[in-house]
Homo-oligomer: A and B are copies of this chain.
């Protein structure tokens, strides 16, 4: 069989036959078999496309006779005749490969129209204008797609006419003028193509089928297949389907429907329609659609105007839901009292609705709990945790950056952290706008509702910290020019001054002028139910990245099972501490450095005490100092002079210390454990602080096993030396305080060399934690802070599948992760392995980490629910894979 008919409740194909029928053809067959009133038609198989090319781009006689037979069946069902001058059948012709593919021929509508049938259409529809405009469009489309004519030659005639008459829109053109246009179109087609436009509908049909097949091998389609690794020998199917019209009088209509409410998830049939209209009319918004369901007894609902059709629709939506087991989005047309289903697909919905529908369907026994989980988009949970912009509000978008941290917020623009804090204290909502943020902006970021930066990517400082805080953030908005001196930013033609209001949507990266209405988040029972199911299913533990007791508390409320990353350096940026840190850096010798560290010790110790307390015995991984020392230094001359006063040290001495600390590539510089090899006393102090806090709590009866993590290890000897140092310091405190507790010393795996030598490193490590941010930077050789200028192009051009800082690069970075897991466990079979990079909160990455056999992921507090759901889905998928 080469031609597959569908119509009147029967179809030769089904949804499993995408290889033969293409995606569209298979779906049309499936809908028909379900008993739905689908406009009848037929699909020419993909194999015929390959035969077409083998056959010197001609259609075989065998195929032609099969098409004629199938066409006859359509005529029969529709009770119309192709080419008839009284009651003509018109058809659409569409391409349809296994996957949808840009570049190929899309659709020719109203095929079958000619000088005679157009008159019949006018009469039947009672709308002469519609008939002639359809004919004009058909001429234009067909001559272009099938006859290869330059479309602008016809468009120019339309424009000329409108100019001449002073018309602003196509709708002003009269029927007579349309008829004249049709006539001049035909002349132009003859002049350009050297042949008449075919009046014979069969000739039109063969031409259209030919054109669909040919479009399989046009350069754009070829290029697209190359880019997306689609085989050239798949071929495309051709779908020929009867046209139906909703504008054939008062018993005709067109509409859309949802089987449940897509905003709330409520189980109620829901939709809109227009009497005597075409699909475009609903979209164009010229007329106001009416409700399908009778809610106000105004006599306008379909339930009232076309009760029979409405009854059929109600049956259909129930059939569809129980067949597809999900909420459906339907399109239909009523032609002179007869209902035709044009499309059904899984309906889009809000996160809130998604949770409700999933849980309701579990309760209704339609799907299992596992199916319900797999159906949810973990990322969409963001909508429930952060404020969102009112979708109905008017918006004046002025820029778009990276969606760095979700949430829609509005506030007045400030350009400095101090200003943010000051305005916040006065009760104002503020948006902190910076070229980029640095650790010294932490207090300002905390005071702001949202952060907007012109530089930096998805893992820039602003993005990471904002996600950690649960603040909205749009980062790397490159078109925006921030002018601190003039206290304004410019973008496009707009100038926004400090104190003016803007709104940012960190979920999509958009920036709007003025205030946009927002909707506050609310967690309901369905959320809790979904999370409980997820927890019962997942294998991966979910921890959080948190540096303060406050963040730790939020994360615990979201279900975090421990802290996977506490960055100790953030503790040093607090205004009361940074000067002590600087004292340490400016020390001339070991003794001075020790003095400063002595002052930091009680501060660090109390930090850890609070953090441990907040986590109530759950595991806490503390990363020892990581950033290069110059990050803690003042940036301007003025700050330097002030510091000189505070520390009572001459500016010249400070300057002479600062200079040699500067680095060309700080990311690859003197940081992480390298600092501790140079200045062991820093890690010693931190180990002592951790041990002191632990001892105090253990003496109070607390149970606690701190996990101490050494960053940036590349050589096993680094870890060997520093583990010894940390252990002996902790043991010294245990002895002093006469207390015993277990503790672990492990390492980050965040350099390619660490991954490649993970066996050697594992022999000194109690645990591994992948730092996939730095691992991505080094594996790909891309600085996340500098990648803004090219990374988006890389993603849009398909050089990279996605931003590797947002979703893990499975082939490259993932390869290193797998190697490290294998080597590490070969050395120590029970090695605990987690991941604490930004990827720990990304569902696609979590799926990879599940398959790589990690023990836990750690992410920012607001991503914990996302990670729990994603981990559960990954477990389910992995079980399925394993059989």
Residue numbers in B under 8 Å from A663 (CB-CB)? 783, 785-786
Cβ distance A828 to chain B, nearest Cβ, rounded Å: 19
Q: Report whether B670 and A789 are in contact in the complex, using a CB–CB cutoff of 8 Å.
A: yes
A525 proximal to B (CB < 8 A): no
Cβ distance A791 to chain B, nearest Cβ, rounded Å: 9
Q: In the complex the two chains form, what is the Cα distance from A128 to B778 in whole Å?
A: 71
A656-674 CB mask vs B (1 if < 8 Å, else 0) is: 0000100111111110001
A632-667 CB mask vs B (1 if < 8 Å, else 0) is: 000000000000000000000000000010011111
Q: In the complex the two chains form, what is the Cα distance from A64 to B793 in whole Å?
A: 82
Give the interface segment out of A544-552, A694-702, A748-756, A839-847: A748-756
Residue numbers in B under 8 Å from A660 (CB-CB)? 789
Residue numbers in B under 8 Å from A491 (CB-CB)? none
Q: In the complex the two chains form, what is the Cα distance from A197 to B60 in whole Å?
A: 116
Residue numbers in B under 8 Å from A674 (CB-CB)? 790
Q: Which of B753, B780, B797, B798 is within 8 Å of A781, CB to CB?
A: B753
A316 proximal to B (CB < 8 A): no
A793-831 CB mask vs B (1 if < 8 Å, else 0) is: 110011110000000010111011000000000000000
Least CB separation from A628: chain B residue: B786
A422 proximal to B (CB < 8 A): no
A724-758 CB mask vs B (1 if < 8 Å, else 0) is: 00000000000000000000000000111100110
A712 proximal to B (CB < 8 A): yes
Q: In the complex the two chains form, what is the Cα distance from A794 to B677 in whole Å?
A: 8
A505 proximal to B (CB < 8 A): no
Q: A781 with B774: in contact, given A678-B793, A715-B800, A799-B721 (CB under 8 Å)?
A: yes
Q: Report whether B756 and A664 are in contact in the complex, using a CB–CB cutoff of 8 Å.
A: no
A141 proximal to B (CB < 8 A): no
A714 proximal to B (CB < 8 A): yes
Residue numbers in B under 8 Å from A812 (CB-CB)? 714, 752-753, 756-757
A757-770 CB mask vs B (1 if < 8 Å, else 0) is: 10010000000000
Q: Report whether A797 and B677 are in contact in the complex, using a CB–CB cutoff of 8 Å.
A: yes
A779 proximal to B (CB < 8 A): yes
Interface size on A, as a range, is 35 or more
A123 proximal to B (CB < 8 A): no
Interface residues of A in 392-436 (CB under 8 A from B): none
Q: Report whether B778 and A781 are in contact in the complex, using a CB–CB cutoff of 8 Å.
A: yes
Q: In the complex the two chains form, what is the Cα distance from A717 to B670 in whole Å?
A: 34
A12 proximal to B (CB < 8 A): no
Residue numbers in B under 8 Å from A670 (CB-CB)? 786, 789-790
Q: Which of B721, B786, B797 is within 8 Å of A665, CB to CB?
A: B786
Residue numbers in B under 8 Å from A664 (CB-CB)? 666-667, 783, 785-786
Q: Report whether A668 and B783 are in contact in the complex, using a CB–CB cutoff of 8 Å.
A: yes
Residue numbers in B under 8 Å from A667 (CB-CB)? 664-665, 668, 781, 783
Q: In the complex the two chains form, what is the Cα distance from A809 to B760 in whole Å?
A: 15
A718 proximal to B (CB < 8 A): yes
A782 proximal to B (CB < 8 A): yes
Residue numbers in B under 8 Å from A757 (CB-CB)? 811-812, 815
Least CB separation from A751: chain B residue: B781
Q: A756 with B815: in contact, given A781-B774, A785-B665 (CB under 8 Å)?
A: yes
Which of A718, A751, A757 has the most chain B CB within a 10 Å cutoff? Answer: A751
A777 proximal to B (CB < 8 A): yes
A47-65 CB mask vs B (1 if < 8 Å, else 0) is: 0000000000000000000
A residues at B contact (CB < 8 Å): 660, 663-670, 674, 677-678, 712, 714-715, 717-718, 721, 750-753, 756-757, 760, 774, 777-783, 785-787, 789-790, 793-794, 797-800, 809, 811-813, 815-816
18 contacts between A and B (CB under 8 A): A664-B785, A665-B665, A665-B668, A665-B783, A668-B668, A668-B777, A668-B783, A670-B786, A677-B793, A677-B797, A678-B793, A715-B794, A717-B797, A750-B781, A751-B781, A753-B781, A753-B809, A778-B781
User: 9 closest A-B pairs (Cβ-Cβ)?
Assistant: A668-B783, A753-B812, A665-B783, A669-B786, A751-B781, A752-B752, A664-B785, A717-B799, A663-B786
> What 16 additional pairs, Cβ within 8 angstroms, besides A665-B786, A668-B783?
A660-B789, A664-B783, A665-B668, A666-B786, A668-B777, A668-B781, A677-B790, A677-B797, A678-B790, A751-B781, A752-B779, A752-B816, A753-B779, A753-B781, A756-B779, A778-B779
